[in-house]
Amino acid sequence: MAAAIGLLSEDKFLCSICLDVFTDPVSTPCGHNFCKNCITEHWNINDSCQCPMCKEVFTSKPELRVNAFISEMVAQFRQTAQQEANSSSSEQQESKPGEVPCDVCTGTKLKALKSCLVCLVSYCETHLEPHLTASRLKRHQLIDPVENLEGRMCMTHDKPLELFCKTDQERVCMLCTVLNHKTHDVVPLKEEYERKKNELEDEIWPMIWERQHRIQEIKQSLSFSKERAGREIAEGFRVFTSLKESAERGLNELIKTIEEKQKTTQKRAEDSIKELEQEISELMKRRTEVEQLSLYENHLSLLQCFPALETALPTKDWTEVSVHPASYEGTVVRAVTQLEETLSKEMKKLIEAELKRVQQYEVDVTLDPDTANPYLILSDDGKQVNLGNVKKSLPDHPKRFSLNPCVLGKQSFSSGRFYFEVQVKGKTEWDFGVARESINRKEDIPLSPEDGYWTIWLRKRIKYKALNDPPVRLFLRSKPKKVGVFVDYEEGLVCFYDVDAVALIYSFTGCSFTEKLYPYFNPGLNDDGKNFAPLIISPVNHTEWLIFRL
């Protein structure tokens, strides 16, 4: 019997009303089989008792009894189908997190193979079988498994949302286009999906290309950085090797000089000792002769020999002869001074090369009149500023410095490197550098990194300071006439250079920049007319390097 059932397809055991396997199958007088509840409800809804299959009409409602034979065959079929399902499910994959599970499976949920937009159910391979074999289920719309199937159905008409209203930018069903969106521009959902997909791809590809291009730029920058690091290491090795060799030469020359001085002093001392010892030996010999004469000669003979003995005595006056220790004063100092000169030459070469590199980041800075204190006088080209004697009537702009005679540049910088030069020739006081955007412009605020300023200043003609935390007194070999300002935003570095002397004035290191930076200028007070010369933002003169090298 089981073998016979195995030869029958599932559609032989399906109720033509519910399209599912029979439950309590009953037979009508015309010989067709239905679920007992299905045929009963069908006849209760309709006025006449008609067979849904052959349309035969019965004058009275037939008495329905369960068909034992069909019922037994259905039970056997269910058992066989369950065994096959269990066997198949063991081969199928269990649903994993992120995968759509089968809604029909009890116990272990298998991975869904398809979702039905009519049934609003997701099916695994086993439970999908009726939709692939049953003629009425084949008409259902199957899609790749998705969650939230209810969200794909129209809440008003209970139909699949398979269209897209471009007018209202929403998904609609077929009935929506007839009722609520009759005059709207409606297209198939798939068509709109393809259009949006192409549109998104057209937008995404340039973004991908841009980022790929950026990756190449970063790689090139990294390669350049590695090459530069190698050059810097090589240059550092060369410089320090040269300094080491110079120091070793200086030390050797120092030792040689001291040893030669000591050798000369020692020879002089040894010669004097040798000569003294010879004279002592001669004196000892004469003393022995006098003693012998006193033993064997009379006094008259001794007196007669005395002039000859006296003439043979040494006559050198040793009271005027002395051997002083060699003088080493200034020997070490001169050696270190020579080393310092060598170091200064190397430093100048390094700073010259460094200044030349940072000047490549020159930017065109102009003064912002909206930030200028009312007492300041700005040139028409925005390149010069000095302090006037009359307060101008200007609007109280939020950016304007109200108390201190300061002004900012128009240009701001929030990344990368930049460099500009300021002429300070003829001035007795000034301060400038860079400042962050959020500085207090209405009160007298100390110039310090904590308050948003990275600056240096001149006061009373000769007093230079770097306004760090705390301020640092600067002792410069020469008075700068033109000062270069270099900023590396990412590196947190602000450097000031004496352009003409090719010297580093001061560096702020380890700075943390989180805002826009602006060039900052203060020409200082007039100092009784002695400081009336303006601060001038001057262009970099690259030809100076050629002249300097020649």
Q: At what angle do helices 189-296 and 299-311 cross, to 10 degrees?
A: 150
Distance CA 112, CA 114 (A): 6
State both tokens at 28. Answer: 């009508």
Confidence (pLDDT) at 467: 95
Confidence (pLDDT) at 295: 64
Cα dist from 17 to 24, 162, 430, 509, whole Å: 14, 27, 99, 85
Confidence (pLDDT) at 92: 61
Strands 170-172 and 163-165: antiparallel
Confidence (pLDDT) at 254: 79
Strands 463-466 and 453-459: antiparallel
Q: By the 8 A CB rule, do 257 and 328 touch?
A: no
Confidence (pLDDT) at 119: 81
Strand stretches in 185-332, DSSP E? 186-188
Distance CA 386, CA 523 (A): 5
DSSP annotation string for 29-83: TTS-EEEHHHHHHHHHHSSSEE-TTT--EESSPPPP-B-HHHHHHHHHHHHHHHH
Confidence (pLDDT) at 311: 61
Sequence-distant (≥ 6) Cβ neighbours of residue 101 within 8 angstroms: 95, 109, 110, 111, 112, 122
Sequence-distant (≥ 6) Cβ neighbours of residue 388 within 8 angstroms: 375, 376, 377
Q: By the 8 A CB rule, do 538 and 422 touch?
A: yes
Sort residue 155 into left (φ over 0), alpha (ψ -120 to 50) or beta. Answer: alpha
State both tokens at 217. Answer: 């730029």
Q: Is the pTM of this model over 0.95?
A: no
123: three-class secondary structure by DSSP = strand
Distance of CA 71 to the CA centre of its chain: 75
Distance of CA 143 to the CA centre of its chain: 46
Distance of CA 42 to the CA centre of its chain: 74
State both tokens at 521. Answer: 């200028």
- Phi first, then psi, for residue 111 (nearest 5°) are -70, 130
Neighbours of 128 (CB within 10 A): 22
**Amino acid symbol at 544:** E
Distance CA 293, CA 135 (A): 165
Confidence (pLDDT) at 299: 62
Distance CA 366, CA 455 (A): 18
Distance CA 251, CA 258 (A): 10
Confidence (pLDDT) at 84: 63
Pick from 519, 462, 438, 509: which is nearest to 485 by CA? 519
DSSP annotation string for 332-366: HHHHHHHHHHHHHHHHHHHHHHHHHHHGGGB----
- Looking at the chain, how many residues does it have? 550
Q: Which residues pair with 483 in a beta bridge?
A: 422, 498
318: three-class secondary structure by DSSP = helix
Cα dist from 392 to 117, 274, 396, 490, whole Å: 78, 94, 11, 39
> What are the pLDDT tens digits along the chain (550 aa)?
444 444 455 667 788 888 778 888 888 888 888 888 888 888 887 777 888 888 888 888 888 888 888 888 888 877 776 666 555 545 567 767 878 899 888 878 888 888 887 788 899 988 888 888 887 888 887 888 888 777 777 878 877 778 889 888 888 888 888 888 888 888 888 888 888 888 888 888 889 898 999 899 889 988 988 888 888 788 788 878 877 887 888 788 878 888 888 888 888 888 888 888 888 888 887 777 777 766 655 566 666 666 666 666 666 667 766 666 666 666 677 777 777 777 777 778 888 888 999 999 999 999 999 999 999 999 999 999 999 988 888 888 889 998 899 999 999 999 999 999 999 999 999 999 999 999 999 888 889 999 999 999 999 889 999 999 899 999 998 899 999 999 999 999 999 999 999 999 999 999 999 999 999 999 999 888 889 899 999 999 865 544 444 3
Distance of CA 323 to the CA centre of its chain: 72
- Through-space distance between the first and last CA atoms of the chain, rounded to whole angstroms: 113
**Amino acid symbol at 27:** S
Q: Which residues pair with 518 in a beta bridge?
A: 435
